Structure 1
Amino acid sequence: MKSISTRGLIFSALFAAVIIAISYLKIVLPISPVPITLTTLAIMLTGAILGARYGTLSVLLVLLLVAAGFPVLGGRGGISLLIGPSAGFIWAWPFATFLIGFFAQRIKKDQYTFVKLLVITFVFGSLFLYPSGVGWLAYKTGIDSLSKALTGGMWPFLPGDFAKALVSSAVVTSVWKVYSTERIIGLPEKTAHESV
């Protein structure tokens, strides 16, 4: 079993704070009970920078605080948030973070790093969230058609999600030029791993 890094735990807590702070930036749409937020940008950054283990830990810490009733997601918290209209997206965050971290840690750093990160962050930080997010939104609000559910929970968000994936990929690519994920979380640098 891999050792636990104190530095990794500290950065997990730090990125949990980043997720909480960013969640306060939101735009409420008249056509959907799900607001546009920058939280998915924070999820993308957390997974790619901290990797699968510590990135997921960071998101789970935020969800634990929410479940305990602390108003840490845009000023809201409690079980009601975890079963509300946007809960399907929230439930998927730890899995999205894990997958982003898992694949980001395995890409070969070359001239295509940005493009590979863009694909990873958009697929797992955006598209991956929609099946559970839109499905739960439809169930919770009584939407009875797929087209209405997609209009309320997906189509308005895709352009912004792509922009977030662009920003995340640019930031992570820049960070990686100075610090690898292993160096950030305080683990020995990998000498060899699978690359894509």
Structure 2
Amino acid sequence: MKMSPREMVLAALFAALCAVAAALVRFGGAVVPFSLVPFVVMLAGALLGARAGALSILVYVLLGLSGLPVFEKPPFGGPAYVLQPTFGFLPGFIAGAFVIGALLPRRREPGLWRYLPAMVAGLAVIYLVGLPYLYLILNFYLGKAVSAAQVIKIGFLPFIGFDLLKAVVAAGLARLVVRRLGDRRAVPERR
């Protein structure tokens, strides 16, 4: 997969933004913490497109798995982080950025009502990957008897309202950036 220098720089920028977003909200002892990372993920998918957006989030995840303290919850990084109940949201972020980028047209400027469904679809993918992983780790690794309804209660219901609000803000911000750039997208379409 060949990338232009511009794509590499923007992917690195969004990976760094994910790390900053995770560091901003390191508090509380909840199983699933509140996070600004989904907001950055939505912007990455909308502004960079499917390939570069997903790659930027992949770089963020790989940095964390290599041991850099870039995740929200202790131990904040390292290969053992895959055993954290919330790890499943990280691959969900990669897939979510890809879906958002894939759903938005790159040849013309999409209207706000194209951005919002793409953001919601990306959120759905994040939850569809993260919640089953949360269930599996809680039940089979940590040995807690947690039902699917309890997983929804701890990993979905407290966050969906905030995530939908983030989706609306990300859709508006992405639209403004694209309008400001005119025909020049953050990452031009490949032919």
**Normalising to structure 1: TM-score of the pair?**
0.84
Give CA deviations for 1:96-141 in whole Å, capped at 9, x if unaligned: 111111112358536xx112211111121x2212222111112212
**Which residue is 2:64 aligned to?**
66
CA distance in 1 between partners of 2:189 and 2:84 (Å): 42
Contact 1:48 1:172 in 2 (8 A): yes
1:53 is displaced (CA, Å) by 1.5
* Match of residue 102 from structure 2: 102
Query: Which range moves more in the overlay, 50-59 or 34-43?
Result: 50-59
After TM superposition, list the pairs within 5 Å mapping 1:125-144 onto structure 2. 126-142=123-139, 143-144=145-146
Query: What is the CA distance between 1:55 and its match in structure 2?
Result: 0.9
Query: Displacement of 1:27 after TM fit?
Result: 6.5
Moved more, 157-166 or 172-181: 172-181
CA contact (8 A) 2:64 2:78 kept: yes
Partner of 2:168 in structure 1? Answer: 166
Structure 2 unmatched runs, 5+: 140-144
Hey, what's the Cα distance between the residues in 2 that align with 1:160 and 1:7?
32
**Which deviates the most, 128-137 or 45-54?**
128-137
The amino acid of 1:24's aligned partner reads: A
- Residue 178 of structure 1 aligns with which residue? 180
After TM superposition, the structure 1 = structure 2 runs for residues 28-177 of structure 1, keeping only pairs within 5 Å, are 32-74=30-72, 76-106=76-106, 109=109, 113-124=111-122, 126-142=123-139, 143-177=145-179
State how far apart, in whole Å, the 1-side matches of 2:94 and 2:87 are.
13
Point out 4+ residue stretches in structure 1 off by more than 6 angstroms.
none
Distance 1:155 1:115 in 2: 25
CA distance in 1, matches of 2:182, 2:10: 14
Percent identity reads 28
Query: TM-score normalized by structure 2?
Result: 0.86
Which secondary structure does the structure 1 equivalent of 2:23 belong to?
Answer: coil
In structure 2, give the amino acid aligned to 1:71: P
> Residue 161 of structure 1 aligns to which amino acid in structure 2?
D
- Is the CA contact 1:82–1:90 (under 8 Å) kept in the aligned structure 2? no
Gaps of 5+ in 1: 191-196
